[in-house]
Amino acid sequence: AGGAIAAADLVLQGREKRACALVRPPGHHSMRFVHGARGFCLVNNEAVMVEHIRHKLGPKTKIAIVDTDVHHGDGTQDIYYNDPYVLHISLHQDGRTLYPGTGFMDERGGPGAYGLTVNVPLPPGTGDEGLLFVVEKLVLPILKDWKPDLIINGAGQDNHFTDPLANMEVTAQGYARLTELLQPDIVVLEGGYSVEGALPYVNVGILLALAGLDYTRVVEPDLARKRLHQSQAVTDHIAWLADELGEMWSRRAAADLEALFGRGDYFQRKRHIYYDTAGISEVQTGRIRLCSRCAGWELVESHSDRYPAATVAVLLPWNVCTSCRAEALAAYEEYCRADRAERIVLIDPMQDKMFEFTN
């Protein structure tokens, strides 16, 4: 996360036009609650960096995160699912065929930010042609319409045709061209597990494209014998995805939020989360305040099969309204008095503070 912050500061201070953070471990599977490692991730590097940027540029800074890792960025999605100032676009292999099994088209954001989560579940066998088609026909028009102040690319490199953990056919040239099209302000390395066959070439391609230099001679030595070919069925499905998601984006303002999230005071949900790397099982229950003046404060109860067994978090949104702040503080104080959890925290991002009570 420190490397990502350092890259961001280079851009924010005007020392560089663009920057890239080659950091490990990756972070986009780490959610707001972190009981252990998930998908090789411990800390969400991009999210830590985004919060740093917001404190530098102001609470209403609009930030777009375009995650091009082959695995759905479920952690980053979790953190910004109800944040109206962060657009999260994830291009990944279809969750029906790959970890973490999420990232479907109907995952579109919470009541305070509906439509600002865009998931593009690409079919196995997607190559340069399909990935770049989605960027040109869907991602770039969305960015042009939303007009972010900063674009961040979570540059996972496991879409590469040599990656042992996925089923895609993207090349270093495809990654470089994606970078050239996207023109991200900051690139943060995510996953990628073909250490010799992919990462040296993909990283060089991305860095050259980021610097505006010629990348056409970056070619993997075994590319010629692979004879990569994206099938017509894959091509047709990707075209359908781009059309459908484009329509969903254009109609997002007309969504019936009451039908989606109810007419009461809160939207409630329950989730089961498995930490594959650490072998931890977690159950989360929570509620989001349905508020017309801000994104609404949240309360999350987390129970895992490791200590602490029960944790409660009260989460204030950026630009919280007076009413939600008062309700959230009252809820925090009530939980502290009730002795219902081993650990209770209140997080206020505007003040960059966390308050903690332990029983």
DSSP 138: I
- Of 29, 52, 88, 92, which residue is the catalytic one? 29
Q: CA distances (Å), 87 to each of 25, 82, 135, 280, 291, in order? A: 23, 10, 15, 29, 20
Angle at 132 between CA 39 and CA 16, to 5 degrees: 75
User: 24 CB contacts (<8 Å, ≥6 apart)?
Assistant: 189
Beta bridge partners of residue 286, listed in sequence order: 269, 300
- Helical ranges in the chain per DSSP H: 2-12, 45-57, 74-80, 128-134, 140-146, 172-182, 199-210, 223-226, 232-250, 257-261, 322-338
DSSP per-residue codes, 281-310 = EEEEEEEEE--SSSS--EEEEEEESSSSSE
DSSP 139: I
Q: Which helix (H) or strand (E) holds 93?
A: strand 86-93
Task: Report which residue type is found at 281.
Answer: S
Q: How far apart are CA 120 and CA 242, in angstroms?
A: 8
User: What is the number of residues in the chain?
Assistant: 359
Q: How far apart are CA 84 and CA 318, in angstroms?
A: 9
Indicate if 29 belongs to the active site.
Answer: yes
Catalytic residue numbers read: 29
